[in-house]
Amino acid sequence: MRTSQPQTIYLKDYEVPPFLVDHTDLRFELFEDGARVHSTLSMRRNPESAAGQPLELDGDSLELESVALDGQALSDRDYEATPASLRIDSVPDQFSLSVVTWIRPQDNTRLEGLYKSSGMFCTQCEAEGFRCITYYPDRPDVMARFRTRIEADQSRYPVLLSNGNDVERGELDDGRHYAVWEDPFPKPSYLFALVAGDLVEKRDQFTTVSGREIDLRMYVEPRNAEKCDHALVSLKKAMRWDEEVYGREYDLDIFMIVAVDDFNMGAMENKGLNIFNSSCVLASPDTATDMAFQRIESIVAHEYFHNWSGNRVTCRDWFQLSLKEGFTVFRDTQFSSDMGSPTVKRIEDASLLRTAQFAEDGGPMAHPVRPDSYMEISNFYTLTVYEKGCEVVRMIHTLLGPEQFRAGSDLYFERHDGQAVTTDDFVRAMEDASGRDLSQFRLWYEQAGTPRLTVEDEYDDAQGTYRLTIHQSVPATPGQPEKQPQHIPFAVGLIGEQGKALPLRLSADEDENDAPTQRVLELTGDSHTFTFHGLQARPVPSLLQGFSAPVRVDYPWTRDQLMFLMSHDPDGFNRWDASQRLASDVIESLMHQPKDVRTDRRLLTAYRHLLADRSLDQALVARMLQLPTVAALIEQSETADVQAIHEARRRVLTELAVELRDDLVACYRRNQESGEYRLEPEDIARRALKNTALAWLLHVNDEEGRMLAVKQFEGATNMTDRASALRALVNSDFEGDRQQALDRFYGQFKEDPQVVEQWFAIQASSPNAGSLAHVEALLEHEAFDWKNPNKIRSVVGAFAGQNLSHFHAKDGSGYRFLAKHILALDETNPQIAARLVSPLTRWRKFKNVYSEGMKSALETLRDKPDLSKDVYEVVHKSLKD
Ligand SMILES: [Zn+2]
């Protein structure tokens, strides 16, 4: 057992840093057996801090070689050093501190700090990785100007990069060389980056709004030279968009992107030198799917947008993580919806929120958007901080309107440029620019849990009035038993008998022509009643249009009403939502029913209409045809019975596919690829629709479907079609074709790690092929590598997160499998290990037959001696009563 419990850090204990760093001078000597880091810090006491405090710097696994104060070497009596801290009791008010440390990047499997990936040196310092490089006040509110000199072997590491501008380079003895980088903008240590490797450079240019020429450079391994164009095009679009929409211009002369294979996160916004997980930046039509292209465009934009929302204005402490992440995710979702289909983008974001973030909000790790305590900050890079944080900013945008929101963001950047601030500062800028009072709104940052809105209605035929009554409740969450009502923008519409959106008159005097067809009602109390006037008949309510707030809505729509909304609601999001509610209702009603009970014919009719509808946005049609996922159905149920949900969903899918077979074939043929691959929204929609039809046909082992899939697989001109055909075959019972396709796919792409990851994920997530035995065999495959987070995610992560019928096997084998691998990973990469615990954390949500096994897997983890802080926190919180 662990001897000491990891410490909990509280927001209420925040104190300003006792020392500030004006300048950080670094010199890295990189070797094959380690690296020597020389750091010289120009420091002074913080005038705002209490006098006389000792100097204490953070470290992690460091070997100290020497310490000097103002040029004088200190003896070991003058300081106290451990691998995790350096303390000097007596220092003057202003001084220069020089420290030399020895680190071992080649043995760093945690991938925090400086490490080696595919023969290159690279860094990941957010949140607390810089302390693995040298002793430092490693907290975001200490901002310094950095100068970095890198020395390494010239033939192995011809490219030497760090933040800022390239100021000097030259040769040294013994075949070594050096480069010096200077970053003129003060920054916290988490934004430091270094890269050294044998990389090819792709160059581009961008002219800013004020006419400055920016050098854009992308560095990748030679084999990836042809996969950079999309990221560079996306970067230029993002740079232009940020100027136009937010008035933000880029500030350095160079902007660099580097792709690395081994990376814990998706990408990192280091000042001027963004480092990306290869899977989030490299793409070509042969190797990346449409979804990957879209994801890359959005991640490149996200990291670029951080240059202002994150880097120029940063977080005071890690409790404020959503200050930069919530706002930047909001900015990237706005950008993506401007680049593609706004409705589909909204559906994707809301689906993620409703399945995964609502689950987090309802589980043992529930925390506010601005958490008030943590043990390990890496565990708080969550959907709540990112996605719910984005929704919170979106609600401010809705409440203020676009002009006042822009005025608020201008004021925020102007007021806080070069500072480390809080979410409260962000909200205050929005208030000051708009004159609106957001004091109750701030509860969105402070209260955890998903608010639930229960809606009742009443139609008065004689008066022609329709009344909506909305009750709000916020559930208790760990540490927060009592909640206050929140300020919720609730967008509604009413649809009349003819399928038209009705004018919403909130008083009898209001002129029909002045009344809008959508209103944003502001909910602030436990309950509100709104009366709409001048109606001829009972309308169908369209509630929470555009998903205007991250809440659950309960209203007893009938199946006929849902079908009506599916074909008439002017709000595209709610059309989709109606399709999901209808399908969920049908699936849930079939659970535990005898086999001869048939699916409601109305669902069939609705889908038949959809398959034939060419007037609707085809991207929306493709989305509406997707049945709710097993994960979404689990989230909607009180106590989940995974196998029953899986079976009922399968039955509905089977029946639909059999009955709609001819419609599916017609839809497939109508949308077949013709001509060159293009990444335009209508082409993406066409492929999505066609591939959905194909998946359904293969689900019922249709012979014509099989021929179409094999033909598509063999003749595909792009990865979207190839991978979709492969997935369809893997999910069918055509075992011969499946194996042949898998072998051919691997043979063709085995040199490409990103494609091999897709190949792994297609199998590990398949309810057909992805049995536990098969997944265990994948772990023995020559291409699998426990040191590479992407491989772990594509096999273990895909199995536990997406292949729910196998993962939740009633004998508990899936849980034991996961626990076994988390235990092993805890030794090498605790961040990744902790993230894999997530599927077990909500054990209380499941029926006994599952929850007992999940709990016992968590107990196995709990009992490991010397569990990492990362895994400790998640496991202990999950088991807590
Ligand atoms: Zn970010």
CA dihedral 642, 648, 649, 652 (to 10 degrees): 180
- DSSP secondary structure, 447-463, as one string: --S--EEEEEEEEETTT
Distance 317 CA to ligand 1 centre (A): 15
**CA 249 → CA 109, 335, 803, distances in Å?**
37, 16, 44
**CA 335 → CA 94, 316, 331, 630, distances in Å?**
45, 27, 6, 30
For residue 291, which phi and psi values (nearest 5 degrees)? -60, -40
Within a domain: 659: no
pLDDT tens for residues 142-156? 999 999 999 999 999
128, 151, 303, 757: the active-site residue: 303
Number of domains in the chain: 1
pLDDT of residue 3: 53
Distance 326 CA to ligand 1 centre (A): 8
Q: What are the tokens at 220? A: 């990748």
pLDDT of residue 1: 42
CA 693, 697, 703, 708 torsion-angle sign: positive
Domain that holds residue 72: 1-198
Distance 271 CA to ligand 1 centre (A): 13
Q: What is the CATH number of the domain that holds 189?
A: 2.60.40.1730
Distance 66 CA to ligand 1 centre (A): 36
**In 272-421, at which residue ranges do the beta strands (DSSP E only) sit?**
273-277, 314-315, 373-374, 420-421
Distance 268 CA to ligand 1 centre (A): 7
* DSSP state, residue 280: G
Within a domain: 97: yes
Distance 302 CA to ligand 1 centre (A): 6
Please report, rounded to a whole number, the percentage of residues in the chain having pLDDT higher than 90. 97
Within a domain: 87: yes
Q: Strand pairing partners for 599?
A: none
b (16+ CB within 10 A) / e for 309-319: bbbbbbbbbbb
| Nearest of 802, 837, 794 to residue 819 by alpha carbon | 837
Higher pLDDT, 551 or 596: 551
Within a domain: 64: yes
Is 776 part of the annotated catalytic residue set?
no
pLDDT tens for residues 54-91? 999 999 999 999 999 999 999 999 999 999 999 999 99
Residue 323 CA to residue 386 CA, distance in Å, equals 9
pLDDT of residue 149: 98
pLDDT tens for residues 722-746? 999 999 999 999 999 999 999 999 9
Residue 187 CA to residue 165 CA, distance in Å, equals 14
Find out whether the peptide bond into 127 is cis, omega within 30 degrees of 0. yes
Distance 349 CA to ligand 1 centre (A): 16
Residue 674: band (very low, low, confident or very high) from pLDDT cuts 50, 70, 90:
confident
Residue 594 CA to residue 460 CA, distance in Å, equals 42
pLDDT at 675 over 90: no
Within a domain: 425: no
Please report, rounded to a whole number, the percentage of residues in the chain having pLDDT higher than 70. 100
pLDDT tens for residues 334-383? 999 999 999 999 999 999 999 999 999 999 999 999 999 999 999 999 99
Distance 114 CA to ligand 1 centre (A): 20
Within a domain: 179: yes
Within a domain: 46: yes
pLDDT tens for residues 410-431? 999 999 999 999 999 999 999 9
Distance 311 CA to ligand 1 centre (A): 10
Within a domain: 869: no
pLDDT of residue 673: 77
Neighbours of ion ligand 1 (CB under 5 A): 325
Mean pLDDT (the chain) is 97
Distance 708 CA to ligand 1 centre (A): 41
Distance 266 CA to ligand 1 centre (A): 9
